[in-house]
Structure 1
Amino acid sequence: MAAKTEDLTELSNIISTNVKNYLSHVPTPPTLRPTPPVPVTDEVAAEAREQLLLACRRVISLVGGPIETVMGMSAAFHQTTAMKLAYDMKLAHNVPLDGSPIALGELAAKTGASEETIVRVMRALTLQDVFVETAPGYFAHTSGSAVIGIPGIEALIGHWTDESFASAPHISDALRENNFQPPEDSRKLAFNRAFDTNKNFFEYAYTEDKPMGARFSQAMTAAGTARGPYNLVAVYEPLRAAPKGTTLVDIGGGIGHVAIAAAQKFPNLNCVVQDIGMVVSEGRDGLPEELKDRVEFQENDFFKGQPIGGPGVYYYLRHILHDHPDPWVSLSRPISWEKGDSLGGILSHIASVMDSSSRILIDEDIMNEHMGPEGNKMTITLDFQMLVMCNGKERTEAQWAALLKSADERLVIEKVWRAKRNDSGIIEARLA
């Protein structure tokens, strides 16, 4: 493994070998030209990619040296600053998508920004191959900058650079007040300080700032598709053999993008997408006509109960539970949506309507127990995102097992269906 060596020659050989493996198993060589992103799906190519990234990170640490490493991490927020400015100035929308360059003066006129500000932002972005200076004072798209303008990706960048970026500086103060232990109440964290609200992120985004909520919904759809095929249709095999008419309840399923993909692949499924009102309405409006007899939308607050029970039901939660601290997921939590009363957690409500043939499918990232360069960068980043925005977290397999047990003593993990290209997977749970 690349992370186990400090020998630059050995690392160079690892890089060389994996470059050959990678190039021989991808349809086309990677390019910085503004072309549509293509997920790496071939298993050999995906493994080679991971080894390349791992070895390159180790080379950068060794050659850059300790001071540059820690100083770079300390100042990394300025990269986000540059991306936020690019997002706010709509640079990606005003540079030609055909790859031709635009003059600095014309870009300034189109965006209304000063030439000096654009130059300073471009210095930071072109350093990371996001945009390119083709000649002095002329800029063009790269593959990295072109994706900024893709609607879902743009929404995701907006979420990260707006509410997340504004909240992150407050996390240390929020934790310090509780001896650096995250409080159980997800309305007393960094996000609340940044936006001066006593509502958690979801309450705020879907009631106080509906444009924020709409952008977040769009961002979550893009985040899922960017990682390749949904785990529900790619790795969870039992759905193929499920009896005709089997019910899949997509809890917190947003506009139904995963349920629609499942219904299209598995004609034996009937899907119910549950979410809050404004999201459910958007989902109904976008449902393909040919699926209206097998996919329905239902308004439901998963903290207050699960109305669908019966034998053989699959309860699917994709990137839902990581948004919440353990007590909110498992047993009970203080809640102040209406009366401030204590209500049951998400999993305990589901367990109360299950039987022995029902299954809970938790589709989440599964944090590695071990730490080091082999860690998955996106999973670790998401763990901090959860801490900052809603006091949730990414969990290890052992933590998932403990969480299920705390929700209901009968809940056990039947099997973990792991995706092959990242740290995610589906944790299948049943009543013992």
Structure 2
Amino acid sequence: MSSGTRNSSIILLAEGILENAKEITRQVQLTGTALPDFSSTAEEAPSTPGFQKLQARLRTQLEDLQLLIDGPRTFYRHFLMRGYEIAAFQIALDFDFFVLIPSEGDIRLEDLASKAGLDQDRTGRVVRLLITHRFFQERKPGFFSHNSFSIALQRDDEMRSMVHYSFDEMLKASAEASVALKAHPLQSDSVHCPFYARFGVPIFEYYAKYPENSGRFAQAMAGWRKMTNNVVELRDNYPWASLKGTVVDIGGGSGHVSIEMAKLFPHLSFAVQDGGDDMLAQGRRLVPSDVRSRISFTKANFFEPQRYKGASAYLIRQCTHNWADHDVVRIFKAVVPGLEGSDEGTPLLINDMILPEPGDDVEREGTRIWERERRQADMVMLMCFGAKQRTVKEFQALLHEADPRYVIRKIHEQGALGLIEVHLDRGQESR
């Protein structure tokens, strides 16, 4: 909590919350969208940069007000119950409650339990706990139906996959955090991390070993991009209109980003490269007919020298955060043959979250929330990959280690993801 917030009175916080709530309401009404509520037919509020700033500011104020009203004892009392609440949410996902409850109307408790293959007692207890968190509703005793938050997971397979994989794999791995760090206090990579401690294999080998979960992981990544990390920064912070030819999407998974970019820039083609057969197969199934002729899918290992020469740009999006420093150096080094085989000035575009530098005092709206989201993502990387999110300086050091000719030309740090434009300085070869 910032010093300014600590000194704020409850009344001042409440007044600020009221003013920001009024402005959010005004912005929603200007779009012609109905104000959000908890009904199953409620629309989601629009997401614009201005609206997101208001959200961050309001969330910070609401959180501070809650903390001041609760105090430490009440806060910890509720905080320590979250693990049990998460268990209830996971049961609802594993036993398909979100799918079995119909999108319209309701279902009797005994029917839900029978379809889920679970007894009525525990089925009811789980759903009723979730109702206290505004998931589902019980408008008459023994009959359950959806509300706006639960039906979102029924209607969107990708969002449900994102939530489900987080509970089914990532939180189980996180439970081994202290065990893993105590076993290897000075090492951090894909075999020295909590995920490995929990499952006995690095995360990507896990998905090769359990292909039934690999498809869900691909859907989960698409759901994550829809929720937060869309292509806005990528679209708006590089002059794509100036390019001609093919953009190579290194580690592009199932090609969701390339598909979106191909729709936005019909003059460009995209070559999706990934090491996972399941990811590539998922992409081939998902690619729409209107862009299919401009998107190719190739199996490739981004630790091996880049084979595609003559690209207009090389894009690596949300890959580096999955790997420890020494692995990222190998990835950057492997791109060099592609850049050397392309026209001078061909960029390597690193599209990933950028952490603020320690002690960064840049003033932002909702700074604490903004930074926390990045620190949360950094912890995901630590738990699951033994890797990390990075600052610009850290990226710069790894690029230089990979090849001293790498030069960062432009940096965009704001928004959901950053964008770092890197070039290979051919002039250094003769120096």
Give the TM interval when normalised to the shorter protein: 0.7 to 0.9
Q: Name the structure 1 match of 2:23.
A: 21
For the 8 Å contact 1:235–1:419, the answer to whether it is kept is no
In the aligned structure 1, how far is the partner of 2:42 from the partner of 2:255? 24
In the aligned structure 2, how far is the partner of 1:380 from the partner of 1:79? 23
For the 8 Å contact 1:3–1:58, the answer to whether it is kept is no
In the aligned structure 2, how far is the partner of 1:359 from the partner of 1:37? 40
Within a 5 Å distance, the mapping from 1:283-294 to structure 2 comes to 283-294=283-294
Q: Offset at 1:39?
A: 6.3
In the aligned structure 1, how far is the partner of 2:18 from the partner of 2:234? 35
In the aligned structure 1, how far is the partner of 2:34 from the partner of 2:392? 36
Q: Offset at 1:151?
A: 0.9
Q: Name the structure 2 match of 1:306.
A: 306
Q: Name the structure 1 match of 2:194.
A: 190
State which of 419, 423, 429 in structure 2 corresponds to 1:426: 419
Counterpart residue type for residue 52 of structure 2: A
Farther off after superposition, 29-38 or 130-139: 29-38
Is the partner of 2:314 in helix, strand or coil? strand
The reply to whether residue 106 of structure 1 matches residue 114 of structure 2 is: no
Counterpart residue type for residue 142 of structure 2: G
Q: Offset at 1:3?
A: 7.7
In the aligned structure 1, how far is the partner of 2:3 from the partner of 2:132? 25
TM-score, normalising length from structure 2? 0.87
* Structure 1 residues 147 and 24: CA distance shift in structure 2, 3 A: same
* Structure 1 residues 370 and 83: CA distance shift in structure 2, 3 A: farther
Q: Name the structure 1 match of 2:390.
A: 395
Q: Offset at 1:8?
A: 1.1
The reply to whether residue 48 of structure 1 matches residue 34 of structure 2 is: no
State which of 73, 77, 81 in structure 1 corresponds to 2:83: 77
Q: Name the structure 2 match of 1:123.
A: 128
In the aligned structure 1, how far is the partner of 2:320 from the partner of 2:348? 12
State which of 326, 330, 335 in structure 2 corresponds to 1:350: 335
Is the partner of 1:427 in helix, strand or coil? strand
Farther off after superposition, 225-234 or 392-401: 225-234
What's the CA shift string for 1:83-110, capped at 9, x where partnerless?
1111012111121212x33332232222
In the aligned structure 1, how far is the partner of 2:242 from the partner of 2:42? 35
For the 8 Å contact 1:231–1:419, the answer to whether it is kept is no
Counterpart residue type for residue 140 of structure 2: A
Q: Offset at 1:36?
A: 7.0
For the 8 Å contact 1:3–1:373, the answer to whether it is kept is no
Counterpart residue type for residue 290 of structure 1: D
Q: Offset at 1:145?
A: 0.9
In the aligned structure 1, how far is the partner of 2:18 from the partner of 2:297? 51
What's the CA shift string for 1:391-430, capped at 9, x where partnerless?
121222332223322322222322223454x3x2212222
In the aligned structure 2, how far is the partner of 1:407 from the partner of 1:31? 51
Q: Name the structure 2 match of 1:404.
A: 399
Q: Name the structure 2 match of 1:341.
A: none
Q: Offset at 1:325?
A: 0.9
Q: Name the structure 1 match of 2:281.
A: 281
Within a 5 Å distance, the mapping from 1:126-275 to structure 2 comes to 126-149=131-154, 150-179=156-185, 181=186, 183-195=187-199, 197=200, 199-206=201-208, 208-227=209-228, 229-231=230-232, 234-242=235-243, 244-245=244-245, 247-275=246-274
* Structure 1 residues 65 and 218: CA distance shift in structure 2, 3 A: same
For the 8 Å contact 2:89–2:130, the answer to whether it is kept is yes
For the 8 Å contact 2:321–2:389, the answer to whether it is kept is yes
Q: Offset at 1:232?
A: 5.7
Counterpart residue type for residue 67 of structure 1: R
Counterpart residue type for residue 390 of structure 2: R
What's the CA shift string for 1:167-202, capped at 9, x where partnerless?
1111111111233x4x2441232222222x3x3111
Counterpart residue type for residue 347 of structure 1: F
Counterpart residue type for residue 57 of structure 2: Q
* Structure 1 residues 228 and 301: CA distance shift in structure 2, 3 A: closer
For the 8 Å contact 1:184–1:327, the answer to whether it is kept is no
Counterpart residue type for residue 260 of structure 2: A
* Structure 1 residues 389 and 33: CA distance shift in structure 2, 3 A: same
Counterpart residue type for residue 406 of structure 2: L
For the 8 Å contact 2:184–2:192, the answer to whether it is kept is no
In the aligned structure 1, how far is the partner of 2:72 from the partner of 2:164? 32
What's the CA shift string for 1:344-398, capped at 9, x where partnerless?
x111111343254121212222223469843444433322221111112122233
For the 8 Å contact 1:235–1:418, the answer to whether it is kept is no
Q: Offset at 1:264?
A: 1.5
Q: Name the structure 2 match of 1:368.
A: 356
Q: Offset at 1:225?
A: 1.5
For the 8 Å contact 2:189–2:323, the answer to whether it is kept is no
* Structure 1 residues 166 and 226: CA distance shift in structure 2, 3 A: same
In the aligned structure 1, how far is the partner of 2:43 from the partner of 2:319? 26
In the aligned structure 2, how far is the partner of 1:293 from the partner of 1:255? 16
5+ unaligned residues in a row in structure 1: which ranges?
331-344
Count of residue correspondences: 407
5+ unaligned residues in a row in structure 2: which ranges?
360-366, 426-431
Q: Offset at 1:254?
A: 1.4
* Structure 1 residues 114 and 380: CA distance shift in structure 2, 3 A: farther
Farther off after superposition, 356-365 or 80-89: 356-365
Q: Give the CA RMSD over aligned residues.
A: 2.4
For the 8 Å contact 1:22–1:44, the answer to whether it is kept is no
* Structure 1 residues 151 and 227: CA distance shift in structure 2, 3 A: same
* Structure 1 residues 41 and 419: CA distance shift in structure 2, 3 A: farther
TM-score, normalising length from structure 1? 0.87
Counterpart residue type for residue 126 of structure 2: V
What's the CA shift string for 1:96-137, capped at 9, x where partnerless?
212x33332232222222222123212331222111222333
For the 8 Å contact 1:2–1:54, the answer to whether it is kept is no
What's the CA shift string for 1:139-186, capped at 9, x where partnerless?
22111111222211121122111111221111111111233x4x2441
Is the partner of 2:176 in helix, strand or coil? helix
In the aligned structure 2, how far is the partner of 1:78 from the partner of 1:252? 36
* Structure 1 residues 48 and 313: CA distance shift in structure 2, 3 A: same
